[in-house]
Structure 1
Amino acid sequence: MVPAQQQQQQQQQSASFFRTNVVPLALMIVSPPAVQLVWVICYHYHGNALKALTAAPSHVWSNFPSMSTRAATLIVLFVTAQLVLLRLIPGPTFTAIPTPMGNQPQYKLNGVRTFIVTHAVLLCAYYLELFQFSVLYHSFGGMLAVLNGSALVITVLLYVRGLYFPTNSDSGRTAYGFIWDLWHGTELHPELFGVSLKQLVNCRFAMMGWSVAIVSFCGTQYEQFGFVSSSMLVSTALQLVYIVKFFVWEAGYFNSVDIIHDRFGFYIFWGCSAFLPSIYTLTSYYLTMHPMQWGVLPTAAMLATGLLAVACNFWADYQRQVFRASEGRCTVWGKRARMIEASYVTGDGKRRRSLLLASGWWGVSRHINYVFEICVALCWSVPAGASALMPYVYVLFLSVLLTDRAYRDEQRCAAKYGRYYEQYCTLVPYRMLPFVY
């Protein structure tokens, strides 16, 4: 091997080690205290990050939340309730696309019904004075402490389970070592009591919990001030519409990157059980004690823009869902669907087929749904105004996350489909934002 090739190979190995070991380890160490710091800034420093960062470290540290029995009890009750509802509430069964090893996990589609039951119980409990919304608001820091602590322990248990007690053949170690396997996971579709842990954690705990949290924060503002501000109403309404859309489209989520590609390790488990509750709810959490009133026209404009973004997001998802269900025998925007028919071989040696949609919104860019996701998040953050950075942390994070996810998805698709994906990229040249990226 010539020196130039050796140098290139060494550079590639160094880059791979950095991405699969150094970065995951750093994120597993830094991320849990970072999300708790965000809560400290929002709760104790009224969203003023500069004030918190210039304060004495000992003062900031003294405000960090600690675990509490109340916080742990709230979490256990909610998880148990969601597990029971997932098992008991009827719904059609959805069979996902084949995994790399040829397995096809199944999911119960009862998300909308579970959403209705969950929120009906929440509102009834408040009406009967069995529960105050402010309890969740003031216990939120302690809940984050419990979630962060338990996530680290459960991640290790998931690592061991995937190696020695896997649900199916999509499991085991990778070639990248212990750190990566802890971060990325050792099992693609783990189950507990016949329930998919991804559906329980990602959909029922994270997404349902997000909705319960922002409704509670809205109620807390009413308890505190005697009214709900226009900014809170717009932001909460847009988030609720987005979350309901998620459960209506839940079958589509089971064909997303989170489910079909990412294993159930720290990245997904901690991300959904601790990061999502802390960051995704941040705009509403900030607005709870910082109500901002807008006039009728600005309020209507923000609400209409946000609803349009959600509608476009749903429209794009719906186009792809209909396309897959009809196996390409459909029209998109009044024309016969344009597509690439790709074939690939799974880990069980079988040749399979995938159809890549290149019409409608999916002809505008290969990840147009990510653009709409970012637009929606911006729309429910804008009502908070420009008084603090905290309400915009989520949309900033989402922009970075989805840009990176689009890149990773491109790499996987190129490796999976080969020349077929090259043809697809020729038909749809833009990755996310037309004429830009």
Structure 2
Amino acid sequence: MPSQKKGKIQNELNPRTTEYEFLGPPGAFLITFGVPLTVYALFFGCSESSGGCPPPLASIPERFTTALSDCAFWSNLWDTQAALIYLAWYAFCVVAWTILPGDWVEGVTMRTGEKKKYKINAFSTFLLALGLAVGYIYRNGPQSFTFLYEKWVGFVTASLVMSVAQGLAVYVGSFRKGALLALGGNSGNFIYDFYIGRELNPSIGSFDIKSFNELRPGLILWTLVNISMACEQTVRTGGVSDAMWLVLLFQGWYVADGLYNEPAILTTMDITTDGFGFMLSVGDLTWVPFVYSLQARFLVFRPVELGSGLYQYFDNESQIPRYLGVLSILFVNALGYWIFREANGEKNDFRNGKNPKNLQYFTTESGSKLLTTGWWGRSRHPNYFGDLVMALAWSLPTGFTTPVTYFYVVYFTVLLVHRQRRDEEACEKKYGKDWAKYKKMVPYRIIPYVY
């Protein structure tokens, strides 16, 4: 009887998933193969070896298929040295998590009634990695840190192998007794559950695999990749262009801000709702460092000096002072960051029982409170709006000669709209008729007066 009772309780905690996302198993299958192919396509479609970035996006698939027919592609696909370096990098992040001091912070209450604790030391890991990289470059020169550019394909492959290995490992581990599954990842279909993530919080002792991957190996590597691109540009041209400096500043600050505010991630959908599977693994380890750094990689073989190159798209004879180009892009990024940080600050203060701005709110029948003034009165996801403005600022330093470097802006827009819809579907189930009332009070989803 006791074992039957435990089994019943476990079934109640882990109900079978009946609703699919991403078009179900066929969509999961296509994305599982489509994401790696897209990463490689962006490289071969926009790289020095392929003649730069093409003006039309339509030519990227043709360039990629041409690369696939080239023996050089397959010989460069696996690089043992790059794989070993990547493995050492991942191990470094694990060791840093283990030995560096950090507070243990509780996450949200789970379905079991428990609260999982997370070690907060991602920012100190970032500072350590940054200090070691800068010291290495200072001692050995910028040419010593260009290997990330030179072995790009090998590093992408190594990160993909790690992503698949982790996805399979956590999927198999999710079948052990007592595992708390994600509500959306227990469909019984291997392809879908492997992709979406079957277990909510796969862990090895106190080491939480999902939160670790979310903020450390890929996010910090993104900054190191950008630094490597700047080193490669220095070796070629004798210095770093102002456009490259802006990309380094914007994206480096974004990473540092996210790592410094590490506890904020504990309330996001990735941590509270989604399981950890191939979707998050490949997103954290491959997509973030090797797609988000596209602008810096482009600027290696197509250096841009702001004030002239930025405006050649409009008028080849037009020349403006360089500082105006720099200041205009700085303003766009600062605007986005201000919206992003102010909106998140209002939300975090309110969740912690603080309301320094005396913002108005709407109380639902369940007792939950929803902000209706301030940034959260302008739209239901104002932090997404700030994110999108920053994304635009990261691409502007590359100029307007190709749309490829704006891929991140387009992708991020699709991603955030999808997240907004998922979040609002969950809120509609949670709040019922109160959510319809709230939407009338705050009608805009992300961008005020637009969407």
State if a TM-score over 0.5 links the two structures. yes
Q: Which of residues 377, 385, 391 in structure 2 aligns to 1:371?
A: 385
Aligned residue for 2:261?
249
Residue identity opposite 2:206 in structure 1: G
Give, in angstroms, the shift of residue 175 of structure 1: 3.3
Please name the residue that 2:273 is paired with: 261
Deviation of 1:15 after TM superposition, in Å, equals 9.6
Q: Distance in 2 between matches of 1:398 and 1:173?
A: 24
Q: How does 1:377-396 map to 2 (within 5 A)?
A: 377-396=391-410
SS for the counterpart of 2:159 is helix
Counterpart code for 1:111: A
Q: 1:222-267 CA deviation, whole Å, 9 max, x = no partner?
A: 1221111111111211111111111122111121111111110111
- Residue 206, structure 1, aligned to residue 231, structure 2: no
Contact 1:24-1:183 within 8 A present in 2 as well: yes
Residue number in structure 2 paired with 1:112? 123
1:338 pairs with 2:344: no
Alpha carbons 1:172, 1:187 under 8 Å: kept? no
Match of 2:347 among 320, 323, 341: 320
Cα distance in 1 for residues equivalent to 2:22 and 2:91: 39
Residue type at the aligned position of 1:330: N
Pairs within 5 Å for 1:227-306:
227-294=239-306, 295-306=322-333
Distance in 2, matches of 1:286 and 1:314, equals 29
Q: What amino acid is aligned across from residue 334 of structure 2 in structure 1? A: L
Instruction: Give, in angstroms, the shift of residue 416 of structure 1.
Output: 2.3
Change (3 A) 1:72 1:111: same
Query: What secondary structure, in the 3-state scheme, does the structure 1 residue paired with 2:174 have?
Result: helix
Equivalent of residue 53 in structure 2, options 47, 53, 56: 47
Instruction: Label 1:165 to 1:291 Cα distance change in 2 as closer, same or farther (>3 A).
Output: farther
Kindly tell me: are residues 358 and 86 of structure 1, through their superposed partners in 2, closer, same or farther at Cα, counting changes over 3 Å?
farther
CA RMSD of aligned residues (A): 2.4
1:58: how far off? Answer: 4.4
Give % identity. 25
How much does 1:134 deviate?
Answer: 0.8
User: Which stretches in structure 1 are left out of the alignment for 5+ residues?
Assistant: 1-13, 344-352
Deviation of 1:166 (Å): 6.2
Q: 88, 91, 94: which one pairs with 1:83?
A: 94
**1:72 corresponds to:** 83
Shift of the 19–292 alpha-carbon distance from structure 1 to 2, 3 Å rule, reads: same
Match of 2:374 among 346, 356, 360: 360
Q: What is the SS of the residue equivalent to 2:108?
A: coil
Shift of 1:54: 4.1
Report the equivalent of 1:8: none
What does residue 95 of structure 1 align with? 106
Q: Helix, strand or coil: the match of 1:105?
A: strand
The answer to whether the 8 Å contact 2:185/2:198 transfers is yes
Question: How big is each residue's C-alpha offset from its partner over 1:67-91, in whole Å with a ceiling of 9 and x where there is no partner?
Answer: 1111111211111111111122212
Quote the residue 1:425 is aligned against. Answer: 439
One-letter amino acid of the counterpart of residue 328, structure 2 = A
Moved more, 60-69 or 250-259: 60-69
Distance in 2, Cα, partners of 1:201 & 1:18: 22
Deviation at 1:173, TM superposition (A): 5.9
1:29 matched to 2:33? The reply is: yes
Deviation at 1:51, TM superposition (A): 5.2
Structure 2 SS opposite 1:388: coil
Q: Distance in 1 between matches of 2:137 and 2:230?
A: 13
Q: Which amino acid aligns with 2:65?
A: P
Which moved further from structure 2: 378-387 or 57-66? 57-66
SS of structure 1 residue aligned to 2:363: strand
- Worse overlay, 301-310 or 41-50: 41-50
Give the TM-score normalised by structure 2.
0.85
Contact 1:39 1:278 in 2 (8 A): no
Query: Deviation string for 1:388-423 (max 9, x for gaps)?
Result: 222111111001111111011111111123233333
Query: Counterpart in 2 of 1:57?
Result: 65
Contact 1:340 1:358 in 2 (8 A): no
For the residues of structure 1 that align with 2:298 and 2:229, how far apart are their CA atoms? 9
* 1:296 CA drift (Å): 1.3
- What are the Cα deviations for residues 361-385 of structure 1, in whole angstroms up to 9, with x where unaligned? 1111111111111110110101101
2:86 and 2:414 mapped to 1: Cα distance? 29
* Structure-1-length-normalised TM-score: 0.87
Q: Call closer, same or farther: CA 1:127–1:165 in 2, change over 3 Å.
A: farther
C-alpha displacement of 1:168: 4.3
The alignment status of 1:307 with 2:334, answered yes or no, reads: yes
Distance 1:418 1:54 in 2: 49
- For residue 119 of structure 1, what is the amino acid of its counterpart? L
- AA of the residue aligned to 1:183: Y
Deviations 1:259-286 (A, max 9, x none): 1111101111111111112211111111
**CA distance, structure 1, for counterparts of residue 130 and residue 360 of structure 2:** 39
> 1:350 matched to which residue of 2?
none
* Cα distance in 2 for residues equivalent to 1:60 and 1:87: 41
Note if contact 1:370-1:432 (Cα within 8 Å) is conserved in structure 2: yes
Are 1:32 and 1:148, in contact at CA under 8 Å, matched by a contact in 2? yes
User: Letter of the aligned partner of 1:264 in structure 2?
Assistant: F
Q: Hey, what does 2:136 align to over in structure 1? A: 125
Which amino acid is the alignment partner of residue 397 of structure 2?
P
Task: Provide the C-alpha distance between the structure 2 equivalents of 1:262 and 1:200, rounded to a whole number of angstroms.
Answer: 15
**How far apart are the structure 2 equivalents of 1:166 and 1:224?**
56
